[in-house]
Amino acid sequence: MRTFSSFLGRQVVTESGRKLGTCHDLRATLGRGRPTVDAIVVGRGGRLEHLGIKPPSSLRRDAVPWEAVVRMDGERIVVRDGTELE
Amino acid sequence: MSTRKIDLGLLLVDHQLLDSEGRRCGNVDELALEGGPGESLEVVAILSGPGTWRRRAGWIGRVAARLGGGGTVRVPWEDVDQVASHVKLRKRADQLGLGRGDDRLRPYIEKIPGADR
Amino acid sequence: MKIFNIALGILAAIGGFVDIGDLVFNVSAGATFGYQLLWVVVIGVVGIIVYSEMCGRVAAVSGKAVFDAVRERLGFRTSLAALISAQVVNLMTLAAEIGGVAICLQLLSGLPYRWLILLAGIALGVIVWVTSFDWIERIFGYGGLCLLVFAVAAVKLHPTWSAVAHGFVPHMETESPLLYAYFAIGLLGAAMTPYEVYFYSSGGVEEQWGPKDLGLNKANAMIGYGLGGFLSFALMIVGGSLFLEKGIQPEFLGSITLGAEVPLGQIGLLLALVGILFAVGGASIDTLFAGAYNLAQYLGWEWGRYRHPSGAPRFTLTWLVLLVLGLGAVMTGVDPVQLTEYAVIFSAVALPLTYVPILLVANDRAYMREYANGRLANVFGLVYLVVIMIVAVTAIPLMILTNVGQN
């Protein structure tokens, strides 16, 4: 069992070491049954977007899809090479 | 039921919990997830209570957790009715083990005349 | 009939606008700088209107009070800092208000101060426990209207009205710019009292305001606080026309009442004392509940002033404990007027922590739907964010540099 807060603050990097950002939230789909995590949110947009100044989430590139995650070790989340923010 | 995407930290964590009767009974302090890299990752339960603060805020969290009694209540996701402005649950607080502080204190408060005016 | 009720509500708001911080800072500012700082009071009054309108709208549309928003929007550590600082400031303010009530009782009755502190605390506790909140608001609100005696006094003191008018234009004619700045900060801090906002927004959630109440919310905020602002002007004008001339620094509540006694005699003195008693007494109840609301909202407990005490046990215990702590603080013999100055300054420092979350939620279309801040609301909202940040950052340095206004 992992906790939500254990994801926060982890560096998100590709296998070859390219830094994509710091995890500061998880994006999930709510609907039937348990929420499923779709993506790791890395952009710093979180607080500011709610000032209504920044564009809505669908237009921002701030997340890494969960399927791209290869492993989680130490203080990092490692994703496949070639993963881009979407 | 339609589906929607939300950012868990913004729209679920730290939000007020309401039981099936609309009674306030704590906050969503933490989420329990199951799964990992290469498989699906799901939220299986909500965790609520001072015990969750330990991991969230370093030494301040540990002190606050001790002051608060250190308990944690686990609410399985199946008991969640809806996630809106507040998080509504399907059962009563006492059935879920929430809001115990109020229940423990109530008998003493009720002794004071005029308490249920 | 509805207009009648609204009018009554506004009257209660006017009577409740002034608290011990306003009394101390407005009269002192007048006694030190004459009418030069009147323009700052205007900024403060507009500020509290902006802040409370936003809080009221957030409460009505999203069902969230201030500390619900703080808990949700700030990170765990920052929100805890916001809670702790708000509670500390609240407690200081509460102690100052209770002390103020005790001083009024002493001036009215001549009984010993220490006993009157205890009496004041117990009386407040009993009144809150036994009386419905509608009646509490009415009694203390209308009683506070006696403070209008200061408006009459201000006119009767025949100030140089052109000088008064000049005071509404930002200017500074003094050799003590630091002291001027200190008073400006204090006036802003005293006008934008956070506990009033916590109380107001929690009340809105409890009364289950909805979008249909938004007009009422705006009216309450603008008219109630706007007119209440006139009382602050009156206090400063009295300070400027009476105290400045005679070189009196109103260090005691008793000296402040001179402002009504000199021009209006014994009746003026009596009305001033009654007005201060009710205004400060009402403020102490608001402050007491604000402290309980904050803690309960932050921790997700059941809360509410309309609930029977047994409906919200931990909330009830919280305000009982806060009352005892506040009483204890005053019993140590600390001077309430001095304590007020510290409370106002520290509340100015902590203000951003509770203002920012409200500004954020007020802009969140997911909760606020079509009632989120429009362009005008955001212009005001952001301008005041800047004002509040400047005030927060300069408050303590100025307090130190001017030796808490003693210079």
Non-local (6+) Cβ contacts of C309 within 8 A are B109, B112, B114, B115, B116, B117, C129, C316
CA distance C61 to C68: 13
pLDDT score of A49 more than 70:
no
The DSSP annotation for C44-68 comes to HHHHHHHHHHHHHHHHHHH---HHH
For chain B, residues with pLDDT lower than 50 are none
Q: What is the pLDDT of residue A57?
A: 53
Residue A34: which of B6, B42, B56 has the nearest Cβ?
B42
User: Would you give per-residue pLDDT tens digits along chain C (407 residues)?
Assistant: 677 777 777 777 777 788 999 999 999 999 999 999 999 999 999 999 999 999 999 999 999 999 999 998 888 888 889 999 999 999 999 999 999 999 999 999 999 999 999 999 999 999 998 888 888 888 898 899 999 999 999 999 999 999 999 999 998 888 889 999 999 999 999 999 889 889 889 988 988 889 998 888 788 778 888 888 999 999 999 999 999 888 888 888 888 999 999 999 999 999 999 999 999 999 999 999 999 999 999 999 999 887 778 889 999 999 999 999 999 999 999 999 999 999 999 999 999 998 999 998 898 888 888 999 999 999 999 999 999 999 999 999 999 999 888 75
pLDDT (0 to 100) of residue A58: 54
Q: What is the DSSP string of B40-93?
A: -EEEEEEEESGGGHHHHSHHHHHHHHHHHT---EEEEGGGEEEESSSEEESS-H
Domains of chain A, CATH where assigned: 4-79 (2.30.30.240)
Give the whole-angstrom CA distance, residue C18 versus residue B50: 38
pTM: 0.91
Contact C195, C286 (CB under 8 A): yes
Q: Residue A50: its pLDDT value, please?
A: 45
Q: What percentage of chain B has pLDDT greater than the value 90?
A: 50
Q: Which of C234, C98, C213, C72 is nearest to C153 (CA)?
A: C234
CB contact under 8 A, B55 and A6: yes
**Running DSSP on this structure, what letter comes out for residue C204?**
H
Which residues of chain A are within 8 Å of residue C360 when distances are taken between CB atoms? 47, 50-51
Closest partner residue to C129 (CB to CB) among B85, B110, B114 is B114
Domains of chain B, residue spans: 8-111
Chain centroid to CA C154: how far?
A: 22
User: Looking at per-residue confidence, does A11 or A32 come out higher?
Assistant: A11
Closest CA–CA distance from residue B14 to any residue of chain A (Å): 12
Contacts of C112 (CB under 8 A, 6+ apart): C106
Chain C's closest residue to A56, CA to CA, is C365
Tell me whether residues A1 and B33 touch, CB distance under 8 A: yes
- Residue C342 distance to chain A (closest CA, Å): 32
Q: Return the number of other C-beta atoms located less than 10 Å from residue C315's C-beta.
A: 27
Secondary structure percentages of chain B, helix, strand, coil, to 5: 35, 30, 35
Chain B residues within 8 A of C309 when measuring between CB atoms = 109, 112, 114-117
Domains of chain C: 2-401 (1.20.1740.10)
What fold characterizes domain B8-111?
SH3 type barrels. (2.30.30)
What is the dihedral sign for C-alpha C138, C144, C149, C154?
Answer: negative
